[in-house]
Amino acid sequence: MGQRLSGGRSCLDVPGRLLPQPPPSPPPVRRKLALLFAMLCIWLYMFLYSCAGSCAAAPGLLLLGSGSRAAHAPPALTPGPDGIAPRLPFQAAPATPPAAGKEPAEGAASQEEQSPETPDSPSSISSFFSGSGSKQLPQAIIIGVKKGGTRALLEFLRVHPDVRAVGAEPHFFDRSYDKGLAWYRDLMPRTLEGQITMEKTPSYFVTREAPARISAMSKDTKLIVVVRDPVTRAISDYTQTLSKRPDIPTFESLTFKNRTTGLIDTSWSAIQIGIYAKHLEHWLRHFPIGQMLFVSGERLISDPAGELGRVQDFLGLKRIITDKHFYFNKTKGFPCLKKAEGSSKPHCLGKTKGRTHPEIDREVVRRLREFYRPFNLKFYQMTGQDFGWD
């Protein structure tokens, strides 16, 4: 009776099945597995999404950036010229050269090494949570000074839950200003309401254009300067260059224009950076002194919690970072964090921080102390603080 379907059986051949039936629904276990897989995909997507936004400081993770965010993310890493540490391309070419110096590798020497031990990126967990919020221009910047203890200050500050900072030095106001504020903001980590965005680039302090440029971004920007005895700072600066170029002349010979007359070569950047009073004059044309905080590099080592207390007050933050956060590491010879940001492990700065300095001729050190004395006194007057370097 039933009409045969071409080459098959009639629907009516099967008792009780007059019309084609939908396929049977999957068993509950398969449905659960599918749901679990979908959740895993969503979680993975959110993780990558948050990393693209907040891992500007984590060079390796930049490569994970995807989708529309990747278009705004800084370009992928290129190997460093020395083949040792990869550098972010935006750190490479100075748009405006820093203070002149006779140092052969000035550009490279002014660059802070990114030690693998430095927790430049937040943990993946904190990255995940930082997927929310938005990128802001920094409200506070550590503008100097090179070899003052700027990395230590930033790493310590990052322990504060209301501080979010970019780990690598952006060098925006000295080398990449032409890239524009949108580019600069994109380097910043995401922040939630009430959190402060920060960065540190120590060369800003000696960059002529930096005060006007930062003021043009926001005249309310809070500025922090970590200062250290200019003689020790110069030796530390020299030690850093020496570590990269062991063939450079001695510190003693670079110090003088004419060693017989004792004329100091102030064009050598290692010497010039330490004339703090001169550099500060430029900043005071654009910022009131009350908007600047001067941190003692020496006290940052002898009493980190004390200096961090001052910094937290200055930034309007609750005093959360206290003595409890630090311990003195005898091997390192420096204070270290009991727990680094986003980790439960103790953390000291990398081996490029706290190097052993070469022995410098005592007479040269004496002459340098004499040279800096009037500038130091002027600096004490300007800041209202005696740093005790004489």
DSSP at 202: G
**Closer of 251 and 334 to ligand A3P (Cβ):** 334
Beta bridge partners of 341: none
Binding mask 131-170 for ligand A3P (x = CB under 6 A): ---------------xxxxxxx------------------
Min dist CB 129 to ligand A3P, Å, is 27
CA-atom Rg of the chain in angstroms: 28
Question: Binder to ligand A3P among 103, 106, 112, 341 (CB under 6 A)?
Answer: 112
Residue 334 in the binding site for ligand A3P (CB under 6 A) = yes
N- to C-terminal Cα separation, the chain: 115
Min dist CB 168 to ligand A3P, Å, is 13
Dist CA 339 CA 148 (whole Å): 23
DSSP at 87: B
**Closer of 74 and 202 to ligand A3P (Cβ):** 202
Residue 274 in the binding site for ligand A3P (CB under 6 A) = no
Determine whether the annotation assigns residue 353 to a binding site. Answer: yes
Determine whether the annotation assigns residue 245 to a binding site. Answer: no
Determine whether the annotation assigns residue 151 to a binding site. Answer: yes
Residue 353 in the binding site for ligand A3P (CB under 6 A) = yes
Question: Binder to ligand A3P among 355, 374, 386, 388 (CB under 6 A)?
Answer: 355
Q: In this structure, are residues 311 and 297 in contact, taking their beta carbons and an 8 Å threshold?
A: no
What are the backbone angles phi and psi of residue 166, rounded to the nearest 5°? Answer: -80, 135
Question: Binder to ligand A3P among 292, 300, 315, 364 (CB under 6 A)?
Answer: 300
Question: Binder to ligand A3P among 47, 92, 354, 378 (CB under 6 A)?
Answer: 354
Neighbouring CB atoms inside 10 A of 7's CB total 5
**Closer of 176 and 240 to ligand A3P (Cβ):** 240
Cis before 145? omega within 30:
yes
Question: Binder to ligand A3P among 98, 202, 211, 230 (CB under 6 A)?
Answer: 202
**Closer of 138 and 202 to ligand A3P (Cβ):** 202
The two tokens of residue 66 are 């995807």
**230-249 binders of ligand A3P (CB under 6 A):** 236, 239
With 0-12 / 13-18 / 19 or more C-beta atoms within 10 angstroms meaning exposed / middle / buried, residue 366 is: exposed
Beta strands in 57-136 (DSSP E): 134-135
What are the backbone angles phi and psi of residue 296, rounded to the nearest 5°? Answer: -80, 120
Pair type for strands 196-200 and 190-191: unpaired
Determine whether the annotation assigns residue 148 to a binding site. Answer: yes
Supply the residues annotated as catalytic: 147
Min dist CB 82 to ligand A3P, Å, is 18
Neighbouring CB atoms inside 10 A of 228's CB total 25
Dist CA 2 CA 282 (whole Å): 99
Residues making up the binding site for 3'-phosphoadenylyl sulfate: 147-151, 228, 236, 353-357
Residues making up the binding site: 147-151, 228, 236, 353-357
Give the footprint of ligand A3P on this chain (CB under 6 A): 112, 146-152, 202, 236, 239, 300-301, 334-335, 349, 353-355
